[in-house]
Chains A and B, each alone.
Chain A
Amino acid sequence: MALKVSGGKGEEAVEPGGPLLVKDRFEVHPDHPLPHLDNPPAVAVRTTHTRDGSRQIYALVCDPKMPPRLDIVSTVHRVDHRNLQRVVDWSVLDWPQEGRRCPVVVMEQPQGDRVFPQLTDWRAPMTEEAVTRLFLAPVVSILRDMHALGVHHRNIRPNNLYFVNSDDREMCLGECFTAQPGTNQTALFETMECGLAAPAGRGEGGAENDLYAVGATAIALLTGKVPMAEKTDEEVMLRRLNVGSYAALVHNQRISLTMMEPLRGLLNDDPKERWTLEDLSLWLNGRRLSPKQQVMPTKASRAYSFAGRDYFTARELAHAMHRHWDSAVMPIRDGSLDTWLRRGLSEDDRVEAVNQAKGGVGQHDDDKLIARVLIALDPEGPVRLRDFSATIEGIGSLVGLNVHDANARTLFARVNSMGLGQFWLEQQRKVDPNQLRYLTRMDKAKMVMNQPGLGFGIERVAYELNPNLPCLSPLFERDYIATIEHLLPAYERLAQAVEAGRVDPVRRLIDRDSAAYIGVNYKRPSGTELRDIEREGDDPPGRIAQIRLLANIQDYMHKKTDFPALCALAATILEPAIERFQSRERRARVRDRLRKAARGGRLSALLDVVDDQQEVANDQRNFESAVRNYAASVEETIQVKRDIKNRSQLAHEVGGQLASTFSALGATVTALITFIVWWF
């Protein structure tokens, strides 16, 4: 998704509007874009400090579909270096042009221009001394500080460099927050391993990624143009695979022997040979060694023809087979690849690895076979399966950014079930502890993914592997939940929108996405509630469990914040729970209490009313008593109607008795009178 404010390029007219307040300190002016400071997909807009109008700041409004690295903002804020563009704060605000909420990062504005406004632009070549002084030396210092804090920049490239002032005497490194690591970089500024992966699957990376980007940027500064800037990523990677990264980037440019040493070190395609920050630091301090010759991968004595082209290295062939996936199975199955590896490439290790890859694969499981063979051919390369291509660290971010893409989900599930991560690890000559850590997380993810319950599945995996991923629930399509603290305010906004009729009525507050998000980010127990929601669905216990989960979050995180609109919505959702009470009178009473509780804005107060076990038990007891009374009254009715049926008989019987009694009385009276008359 691209934001509508494009930096004043004229694609979209921006409606004038008032400034938007961020954290009561900054005023963001959506109608004043700063296109020269855009960092796609983020767009820059003018921003002022409410109390200090002289501060030169601007805001980068990020694409909500490409979650920014908000988790490192506070860490990077601690790196106080004049050659690093300083981040001031971040927040989430209503972005009128997009009609939704977007994350925004407030930055200090550099006074000078970009060193390279576009990657395709040219500028005057800089001297070695200038590159060293203005770029390499400060960057080493900045990276040392950042790496010490466990953060990597991952966004170093010529068009993310600014001159600190208009006199162009000092440069500063731009931001590194507005997108996931490596996703904004072209393949040119990524290591070979990351360059072969999809942008979203490049992963967190490490110091070597930053150092490689420093080397590539230095060449651009030295030559005055970005090498191969006009080429596509695919063309760049083919060139780099063919001749090596250093040779591909330098091409025919003249590089002095002095600069050749660090550049060859930084752009070395062998991770073990690549310069570290320490090496670069020593070089800056005057250590001079003879430039290391780039060690190229073993080239075959004869080319292997595949998909209409000849390939001389296993890595090139692996890349080509990934690009022509469906054609790759034939050479693997018919043995021609084995023959070429043995006779052409003559690498016994590779032959062994490919044989190992073929082992344990079913006769008809072509995809698994290809994926394993590609790992065997290019052990340092990404894990590849059809459209899926990610480094071992990048698998998580790739699935996180495509969690609602059915194809990506399927491929991720297959990568997991095929155990490609484990096989990739087995093929490594040297295992990085970070990679082991990622693999352990992947194993955990596998278990979580196979659990069918609410709060688990692929959604949970996405949130587990991507701390920056916002809640992707369809409920919050127009919101941005950067952290769990933003969840209830987002629900409040949603409830207000429902109340105002701007969105359709909400029937459930907890869906699979929000459940998974809460499961990962809410650190207190929530399993019981999630199980109840899963088991009971839309029945009253399920509804109560939804509200209880949110009430727990409110009690834990928003002790002093009330959410009246959310409570009103919750009261509506809890309406069927009131129907649990059998007594109409009690229902009316509970409904009235619920309405009053909703006005208070505390979800727990609603639960106190609806989920009062004593009240429920009393109601049940009274109901059972009423049922008994009713049954007894019907029994009486039956008896009365039976009497109606037999009324004639009864009347005759009783009438007869009465008649004989009256008759006896009458006779007695007559007899007495007769005796008296007769006697006297």
Chain B
Amino acid sequence: MAKPATKARKGAKGGRNKGGRNKEGQKTLGAGKRFLALFIAIILVTLFFDSMILLAAGMIPTGVAYLTDRGPRKHATRTVAWMNLAGCLIVILDLWGGGGSLDHAIRLLMDPLNWVLMFGFAGIGWVIYFTLPPIVSGYLALSQEMQLKDLAKRQKALEKEWGSDVRKNAPLDRLDMIEEEIAEAERRAKAPKASGGEATDSETADSEESMGVEAGEDLTDTPAGRPVAGRHGVASGQSGRTPAKAG
């Protein structure tokens, strides 16, 4: 059951290329690649000057996205860039259909509909970018909840069969530390919200939903089933307490 999250972690860590990283950890191109890119750009500008003018103007949203995107892997930029490029392609095809000249390119740029088209597609890119993470977060919450429930059931079954002695080698102190960290993070997240802060709704909703267990089975005495501090325990209705160390 840990697969989606693991995959996600791998995704976060993976994807390294041969380029270096700057001080902020962001990917940077190597000197050879930079030179190659510059070379291609010069050739393209030389060969398709009118198209490049159009493209340069139409891809402004992507440039803005690049400047505002603080993520190490520039997902926002990529998302906006792809859609922005699709929008620009429509206008460029229109340019190529008209014979292709600098005048035609300027005429096209003078048409507001073309701007709407190019920027609109960039906007769709932004919409995609802002819509997917909450959906993923919701999926992760559901998945983690299921995992915890399964783990709690396994732990409950072991405790039923072997008693509390079965906990003797379990790293419960580390679990406590993690739970305290979660509680602390939630306290920090709630504080600005209470004072009109900007905590995202999605985070709060995530944490409240993540550890629910079936009402019929009391799993709250298991390490996996006990409510995390600062959260509303779904099964037990407890809230905001530091979990006692089991065993």
Contact = CB atoms under 8 A, between A and B. Distances in A.
A232 B147 CA distance: 95
A635 B121 CA distance: 46
Interface string A628-669: 111101111111111111011111111111111011101110
A607 to B, nearest CB: 24
Given A656-B133, A663-B80, A645 B73 contact: no
Contacts of A642: 178
A56 interface: no
B161 A626 contact: yes
A657 B87 CA distance: 21
Interface string B27-39: 0000000000000
Contacts of A635: 171
Contacts of B85: 667
B12 interface: yes
Contact of B172 (A584, A634, A639, A653): A634
B220 interface: no
Given A638-B175, A656-B75, A650 B12 contact: yes
B169 A660 contact: no
B189 to A, nearest CB: 9
A670 interface: yes
B75 A637 contact: no
B140 A663 contact: no
A243 interface: no
A655 B135 contact: yes
A653 B12 contact: yes
Contacts of A627: 162, 165-166, 168-169
A137 B16 CA distance: 125
Given A650-B5, A658-B136, A662-B132, A643 B144 contact: yes
A582 B128 CA distance: 56
Contact of A655 (B80, B132, B207): B132
A329 B154 CA distance: 82
Contacts of A365: none
A649 B202 CA distance: 12
Contact of A637 (B165, B169, B175, B181): B175
A434 B14 CA distance: 99
Interface in B119-176: 121, 124-125, 128-129, 131-137, 140-141, 144, 147-148, 151, 154-155, 158-163, 165-172, 174-175
A656 to B, nearest CB: 3
Interface size, A (range): 35 or more
B221 interface: no
A643 B133 contact: no
Interface stretch (B89-97, B108-116, B233-241): B89-97
Given A631-B169, A650-B9, A670 B89 contact: yes
Interface centre among A584, A629, A641, A670 (most CB of B within 10 A): A641
Contact of A640 (B97, B148, B163): B148
A454 to B, nearest CB: 31
A584 B133 contact: no
Nearest to B96: A678
B185 interface: yes
A584 B165 CA distance: 12
Contacts of A662: 79, 128, 132
Interface in B207-242: 207, 210-211, 223-224, 228
Given A626-B161, A630-B158, A647-B206, A671 B86 contact: yes
Contact of A648 (B81, B82, B161, B203): B203
A654 B228 contact: no
A658 B134 CA distance: 12
B105 interface: no
A664 B80 CA distance: 9
Contact of B182 (A634, A644, A654): A644
A663 B125 contact: yes
A637 B148 CA distance: 7
A623 B75 CA distance: 49
Contacts of A650: 5, 8-9, 12, 136-137, 140
Interface residues of B, number: 75
A652 B171 contact: no
B155 A634 contact: yes
B99 interface: no
Interface in A78-111: none
B83 interface: yes
Given A653-B11, A655-B132, A663-B83, A640 B147 contact: yes
A652 B182 contact: no
Contacts of B202: 648, 651
B82 A633 contact: no
A585 interface: yes
Contacts of A658: 132, 136
Contacts of A670: 83, 86-87, 89-90, 121
A658 B131 CA distance: 10
B182 A645 contact: yes
B238 to A, nearest CB: 16
Contacts of B56: none
Nearest to B137: A651
A662 B86 CA distance: 13
A637 B163 CA distance: 19
A635 to B, nearest CB: 6
A186 interface: no
Interface string B176-187: 001101100100
A666 B82 contact: yes
A252 interface: no
Contacts of B83: 663, 666-667, 670
Nearest to B183: A645
Interface centre among A636, A647, A652 (most CB of B within 10 A): A647
A639 B80 CA distance: 33
B124 A666 contact: yes
B147 A667 contact: no
B2 interface: yes
B2 A640 contact: yes
A584 B155 contact: no
Contacts of B82: 660, 663-664, 666-667
A256 interface: no
A649 B12 CA distance: 9
A647 B200 CA distance: 13
A121 B148 CA distance: 99
B78 interface: yes
Contact of B78 (A626, A645, A663): A663
A639 B167 CA distance: 17
B5 to A, nearest CB: 4
A652 B71 contact: yes
B59 interface: no
A59 B104 CA distance: 142
Given A582-B163, A656-B79, A651 B155 contact: no
Given A630-B155, A633-B224, A643-B140, 13 more contacts: A582-B166, A623-B166, A626-B166, A637-B148, A640-B224, A643-B9, A644-B144, A645-B185, A652-B133, A657-B11, A663-B80, A671-B86, A674-B93
Top-7 shortest CB links A-B: A656-B75, A655-B133, A651-B137, A667-B86, A660-B78, A670-B86, A663-B82
7 contacts: A630-B155, A638-B171, A638-B175, A654-B7, A663-B79, A666-B83, A666-B128
